[in-house]
C-alpha cells in the first residue's frame, strides 16, 4: 500500500530489504541506496564514532521520523526477573549498537552493572529470538513480531523500554547530504504519512495483515492480527503520525551513546539533521 501511495505521488521507488545496519550504511555511502530507514542511533554513530570512518560528504542525515523502536526485553527458562539475570547470558546484536545501549540502560536501572551478566553477541532480532528458543542465551531485547513470538512461546516479558525511556527515537528516514532535493524528500515523507493514516484506519486491517504476511513471511493470521493491533493502536509510543523527528527523543538516543560509548566524539545535533 505504501508503494501505491508513493506512486500516486509520482515517486517511483524500489524497496530493498536489508538484514544489517552495516549493509545499509555501506549501500548508502556507495550510492547503492538513495534513502534508508534505520535506527536513529546508526545515523548518530556515523557522525560521532571516529572508528567508522564515514567520509564527511557521505555522513547521512535524518529527514523524517518513524517510531519509538517498539522495544521490549524478554527472558526464557527460569529467568523470571532482572534479579535472576545475575550471572546469566544476555544476547546482543552488537554491544555497541543503539538497541544494546537501551538494554544496558534498562539493566543498569534494575541494578545490574556490566559484569553482573554475560554479554553474548548473537546478531539481529531473528537470531536473538532463535538463540533464546534454543537456550543459548537467557534474555534479549526484541522488536515486533518477535516480541509476540516470545509471548507465544511462553517466555517472560521483563520490561517495555518505553517505561525506562519515555522518549526514544527508533526508526528514522535518512539520506546523504544534497543527494536528493528537499522537494522530493518532502513529497516522500508526505506520501509515507498518508500510508500510515491508511494503516491506522481499522477498516483496512485485513488488507494490512495481508501485506504483513507477504512482508514477514509469517503464516500465523492470529499473530499478525495481534501484531497489527500492538503496533498501530497501543496507547504509548508506536508510530509517529506526523513523520517528524522528535528532537527530545533523538537527544535521548544520543545521550545513551554518550553514556555507554567509550569512543564517541559529539558535535551539535544539527550535524545529523537534514535542514529543509
- The model's pLDDT over 115-148, given as tens digits with 9 standing for 90+, comes to 999 999 998 898 999 999 999 999 999 998 899 9
173 and 160 co-located in one domain: no
CATH number of the domain that residue 85 is part of: 3.40.190.10
Final residue in a domain of this structure, among 111, 137, 164: 164
248 and 193 co-located in one domain: yes
Q: What is the pLDDT of residue 165?
A: 95
79 and 191 co-located in one domain: no
Confidence of residue 231 (pLDDT cuts 50, 70, 90): confident
**Can you tell me the mean pLDDT for 216-237?**
75
Q: What is the pLDDT of residue 3?
A: 64
172 and 261 co-located in one domain: yes
pLDDT value at 11 more than 80: no
Give Cβ neighbours of residue 20 (< 8 Å, ≥ 6 apart): 124
**Can you tell me the mean pLDDT for 152-162?**
95
pLDDT value at 180 more than 80: yes
pLDDT value at 236 more than 60: no
Confidence of residue 172 (pLDDT cuts 50, 70, 90): very high
**Can you tell me the mean pLDDT for 26-36?**
93
174 and 263 co-located in one domain: yes
Q: For residue 51, with 0-12 CB atoms within 10 Å meaning exposed, 13-18 middle and 19 or more buried, which class applies?
A: exposed
Q: What is the pLDDT of residue 234?
A: 55
Confidence of residue 232 (pLDDT cuts 50, 70, 90): low
Least confident span in 161-170, 216-225, 265-274: 216-225
**Can you tell me the mean pLDDT for 78-82?**
96
97 and 182 co-located in one domain: no
Mean of per-residue pLDDT scores for the chain: 90
Final residue in a domain of this structure, among 123, 149, 164: 164
Q: Which three cell numbers stand for residue 172?
A: 528514522
131 neighbors 76 (Cβ within 8 angstroms)? no
Q: Kindly tell me the sign of the dihedral angle through the C-alpha atoms of 52, 259, 145, 153.
A: positive
Least confident span in 124-128, 139-143, 212-216, 240-244: 212-216
Q: Which three cell numbers stand for residue 180?
A: 536528493
pLDDT value at 100 more than 90: yes
Rounded to whole angstroms, how far apart are CA atoms 227 and 230?
5
Report field, pTM of the whole predicted structure over 0.85: yes
Q: What is the pLDDT of residue 79?
A: 96
Helix segments in the chain, DSSP class H? 2-8, 21-29, 40-48, 98-109, 125-133, 146-152, 161-164, 182-200, 205-216, 221-233, 247-260
Residues found in the chain: 276
110 and 63 co-located in one domain: no
CB neighbours of residue 10 within 10 Å: 9
Distances (CA, A) of 13 to 3, 21, 140, 188, 199: 7, 20, 34, 10, 19
pLDDT value at 103 more than 70: yes
**Can you tell me the mean pLDDT for 98-120?**
96
231 neighbors 238 (Cβ within 8 angstroms)? yes
| Interior angle at CA 240, CA 60 and CA 44, nearest 5 | 25
Higher-confidence residue: 97 or 276?
Answer: 97
Rounded to whole angstroms, how far apart are CA atoms 8 and 262?
47
Final residue in a domain of this structure, among 145, 164, 183: 164
268 and 179 co-located in one domain: yes
172 and 264 co-located in one domain: yes
201 and 261 co-located in one domain: yes
189 and 261 co-located in one domain: yes
**Can you tell me the mean pLDDT for 17-32?**
86
62 and 77 co-located in one domain: no
Higher-confidence residue: 16 or 62?
Answer: 62
Confidence of residue 60 (pLDDT cuts 50, 70, 90): very high
Q: Which residues span the domain enclosing 212?
A: 2-11+20-68+168-272
Give the total number of structural domains in the chain: 2
Q: What is the pLDDT of residue 91?
A: 97
Q: What is the pLDDT of residue 1?
A: 53
Helix then strand then coil, in percent of the chain rounded to 5, is: 45, 15, 40
Confidence of residue 22 (pLDDT cuts 50, 70, 90): confident
Give Cβ neighbours of residue 215 (< 8 Å, ≥ 6 apart): none
Amino acid at each position: 500500500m505504501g508503494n501505491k501511495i508513493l506512486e500516486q505521488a509520482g515517486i517511483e521507488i524500489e524497496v530493498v530489504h536489508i538484514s544489517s545496519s552495516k549493509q545499509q550504511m555501506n549501500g548508502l555511502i556507495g550510492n547503492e541506496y538513495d534513502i534508508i530507514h534505520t535506527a536513529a542511533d546508526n545515523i548518530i554513530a556515523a557522525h560521532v564514532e571516529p572508528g567508522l570512518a564515514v567520509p564527511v560528504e557521505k555522513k547521512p542525515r535524518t529527514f523524517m521520523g518513524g517510531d519509538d523502536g517498539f522495544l521490549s526485553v524478554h527472558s526464557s527458562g527460569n529467568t523470571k526477573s532482572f534479579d535472576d539475570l545475575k550471572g546469566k547470558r544476555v544476547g546482543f546484536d552488537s554491544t555497541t549498537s543503539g538497541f544494546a545501549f537501551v538494554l544496558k540502560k534498562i539493566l543498569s536501572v534494575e541494578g545490574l552493572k556490566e559484569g553482573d551478566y554475560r554479554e553474548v553477541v548473537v546478531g539481529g532480532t531473528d537470531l536473538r529470538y532463535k538463540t533464546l528458543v534454543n537456550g543459548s542465551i537467557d534474555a534479549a531485547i526484541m522488536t515486533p513480531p518477535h516480541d509476540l513470538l516470545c509471548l507465544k512461546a511462553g517466555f517472560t516479558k521483563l520490561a517495555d523500554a518505553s517505561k525506562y525511556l519515555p522518549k526514544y527515537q527508533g526508526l528514522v528516514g535518512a539520506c546523504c547530504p544534497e543527494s536528493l532535493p528537499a522537494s522530493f524528500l518532502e513529497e516522500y515523507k508526505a506520501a509515507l504519512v498518508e500510508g500510515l493514516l491508511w494503516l491506522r484506519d481499522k477498516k483496512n486491517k485485513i488488507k494490512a495483515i495481508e501485506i504483513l504476511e507477504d512482508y514477514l513471511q509469517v503464516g500465523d493470521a492470529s499473530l499478525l492480527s495481534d501484531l497489527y493491533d500492538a503496533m498501530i493502536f497501543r496507547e504509548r509510543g508506536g508510530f509517529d503520525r506526523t513523520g517528524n523527528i522528535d528532537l527530545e527523543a533523538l537527544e535521548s538516543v544520543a545521550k545513551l551513546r554518550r553514556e555507554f560509548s567509550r569512543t564517541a566524539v559529539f558535535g551539535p545535533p544539527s550535524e545529523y539533521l537534514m535542514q529543509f
